[in-house]
Chain A
């Protein structure tokens, strides 16, 4: 199930798109200058990048229907060069868009209840969530219900369309954080309360970019009925204080670290007391209406023949590996969550062809009740697959070239578009990712290394989440040449941490060797079963520094 638009939503989008069509016409006719037009196009997710316009399409909390995915494939084939890029914000970007086509593209998106609004600008951006929502075996409550509540609240919120800076909210309803909530302006964790109630634990002030911070706990337990009034108070206090004079200091993380989370909390509580009675919080029947859209699918009992499955695993090591890494536990033991990896070694991370989108959409219809999710690690998820269908699904995905069994391994790299596409980049990300995956292309080698999150950004904006990579790579400009700074020990999860810079940067051609040196150092130091992060936590940076730069004199 997913949220479906009503007529009001559709009318709104139709009006918005008609308005933008007129604005594009006026721009092309010279009635609007670029200075006048730029803010209008950005409000519709349209950027100008290195080679062309780039359109960023919102995928609310990463949830897509097969029909929507098919439409994205159609759009990339008809109006782009046949591919798109999944982003770390669970959205999609099209890289080769013509301005003259954008009104038609927005119409095509509206046909499937999609748009590009609030994907840019200093507003509350698309809310991100656990991509396994509604299906994960460790879930307390489906976060999509609350992500949708937040989506409706934050869409066109008159007070919060011109914040000091962009504002990003992430929510998880599971025990394990798979939404990197600690790296968002507001992170929300659904937690159990007394007497089988649930509530929200609120974190604030996380983010990456130039000044990375792990979010701090703001409120231990917020009853669900008060989510919106509390967030409204948080945004109001930020809106009042946030620095508008310096974009590098305008994010809420800077405010929190300037005045301290306690002072901020006091001000928010005070504001909250004064607005709680104003009817900001949704009435229970409205929450119930939204909740009904996310009713768990009726998954019929579908016991798998375990002997068959074992036999198939035994006969095909690729399938066996795929089951080990890409098949995740579902709430219903007859079912599984499947990660569709777009990270076959050698591919540019995040890029997906039109054909692949269509193939995954078909697989979703056939095996996952038409449901697809986008992960912030730039892969797709099929959330409701019967274990009995795993072999057939694997064969389907295999013929589409999408069965890399490497979820969360070193080759499952997150990378931003970098200097190959991005106007703000210092250095390229994609060729670095390709060179590194080439070194670990042997799946047995990648598997022997084990869980390892390697993230690459082409500049300090950190779109590729390098700060939270177990190994992070940041492109820097060193006297006009592309160099790369390496960080170690970051984590996006429950043990959220910002990586430490290991030493001086490397030129591009030395990066793959440096990564191999780091991995070899880890393997030499590893005690039985330790992950890279555990080893790094135990031995610290010194052995890695020594291996990379020699013994300090």
Chain B
């Protein structure tokens, strides 16, 4: 199952994904996809180091959908995280 690694950035809590060049970016579409267990283990090692380097917290892997080309979240929870906003109009957007 194609997977990516996600976490929250330590300094501000923003949702990030492990991307190319070991960067942690908020954009899921730019995430590095692991195609198999070995790939995923490599990414997990990088994530472990990033946590030790105070870049991120709470890293975990999640399966993604690649049918659109770039990785897309599967669960509602991950769709909400990837969108960096609630699914409703925020109260500041209503008036």
Binding site for B on A (CB under 8 A): 27-30, 34, 48-53, 81-83, 97-100, 346-348, 351-353, 401, 419-421, 425, 427-428, 430-431, 434, 480-482
Contact = CB atoms under 8 A, between A and B. Distances in A.
A52 B7 CA distance: 11
Nearest to B75: A480
Interface in B81-95: 81, 84-88, 90-92, 94-95
B76 A482 contact: yes
B89 to A, nearest CB: 8
Interface stretch (B8-16, B27-35, B38-46): B8-16
B57 A48 contact: yes
Q: Most chain-A Cβ atoms within 10 A of its Cβ — which of B52, B54, B58, B86?
A: B86
A98 B91 contact: no
Q: What 5 A-B pairs are tightest by C-beta distance, nearest first?
A: A420-B86, A98-B12, A52-B13, A351-B91, A53-B13
A52 B11 CA distance: 10
Given A34-B51, A419-B80, A50 B15 contact: yes
Nearest to B95: A401
B80 A83 contact: no
18 contacts: A28-B10, A28-B11, A48-B57, A51-B84, A52-B12, A81-B92, A83-B90, A98-B12, A348-B90, A348-B91, A351-B90, A353-B91, A353-B92, A420-B80, A420-B87, A427-B76, A430-B87, A481-B76
B76 to A, nearest CB: 6
Given A30-B53, A30-B54, A421-B86, A99 B91 contact: no
Contacts of B84: 51
A419 B78 CA distance: 10
A205 B72 CA distance: 46
A49 B14 CA distance: 10
A351 B51 CA distance: 33
Contacts of A348: 86, 88, 90-91
A51 B85 contact: yes
Contact of A83 (B14, B51, B58, B91): B91
A430 B85 CA distance: 13
Nearest to B77: A419
Contact of A52 (B14, B51, B75, B91): B14
A99 B90 contact: no
Given A34-B51, A99-B13, A352 B91 contact: yes
B58 A48 contact: yes
Nearest to A342: B91
Contacts of A434: 88
B95 to A, nearest CB: 6
B13 A51 contact: yes
Given A419-B77, A420-B80, A82 B54 contact: no
A258 B76 CA distance: 39
Contact of A50 (B80, B90, B92): B80
Contact of B54 (A27, A52, A83, A401): A27
Contact of B92 (A29, A34, A82, A427): A82
A51 B14 contact: yes
Contact of A419 (B76, B92, B95): B76
Contacts of A346: 94
Contacts of A347: 91, 94
Contacts of B92: 81-83, 353
B54 A29 contact: yes
Nearest to A29: B54
B88 A99 contact: no
Contacts of B52: 30
A99 B94 contact: no
Nearest to A417: B86
Given A29-B54, A347-B94, A430-B88, A50 B14 contact: no
A223 B56 CA distance: 54
A239 to B, nearest CB: 31
A97 B88 contact: no
Contacts of B53: 30
Interface in B56-86: 57-58, 75-77, 80-81, 84-86
Nearest to A354: B92
Contacts of A430: 86-88
A83 B86 CA distance: 13
Which of B53, B91, B92: most chain A Cβ within 10 A? Answer: B91
A98 B9 CA distance: 10
A482 B75 CA distance: 10
